[in-house]
Every structure is written in C-alpha cells, then in structure tokens.
Amino acid sequence: MDNRYHRHNRRKYSLKVHIVLVTKYRKQLLKGSIADDVKQKIFDIANTRGYEIIAMETDKDHMHFLISYDTTDRVCDIVKIVKQETTYYLWQTKGFNL
C-alpha cells in the first residue's frame, strides 16, 4: 500500500502547499513566546479543520508552513482562515493592534 496518497470516496490525492505569511509592514512581532503561541494556534486550526502541518518555521517578521489538505478545500480559504483566526487571537490575548 502506498502511503504517499490519501484516499476518500474514489479520490486519490496528495495536495500540499507552502504558505508564507508576513506581518503588516514587516514589523518584527514574532519573537519569543509570541511565535510559539502563533504556531500553537495554527496547529489548533489545522487539527480542527482536518489539515496536516508537515513543517513550520517562524522568523521575526514572517512564517512559513507546509500544509497537506483535502480536495474539497481551497488554498485561498485556508490562508483566510489562518490569517483571521491568528490575528483575532493576537488581538484578544496580546493586545496587538495589527
């Protein structure tokens, strides 16, 4: 059996996308515990939505992640959800005005 592909209802697929998110005006906000909190929030989003995070790294002003997703999802929706939920999380917990 080949484990490189997902199978579901006559579909066989292996969809992966590399997403890079940048902070507004390239502000260096992703330092220390904030970067860890954002990573954890993205892992939580992925778990609830059925995505698989393959790799994730952050720098001071941007973050990269490689995500595996289903054929019923669109990349633009994944990016929208991640940006909305992480921004709202930072507003609520850290008091950032992004």
User: Domain for residue 1, yes or no?
Assistant: no
**CATH number for position 65:** 3.30.70.1290
Band the pLDDT of 96: cuts 50, 70, 90.
low
User: Domain for residue 49, yes or no?
Assistant: yes
pTM for the model: 0.86
CA distance 86 to 2: 35
Amino acid at the residue 66: L
Residue by residue, DSSP assigns 37-84 as HHHHHHHHHHHHHT-EEEEEEE-SSEEEEEEEE-TTS-HHHHHHHHHH
pLDDT (tens digit, 9 = 90+) per residue, 20-65?
999 989 999 898 899 999 999 999 999 999 999 999 999 999 999 9
pLDDT (tens digit, 9 = 90+) per residue, 56-80?
999 999 999 999 999 999 999 999 9
The domain containing residue 44 runs over which residues?
6-94
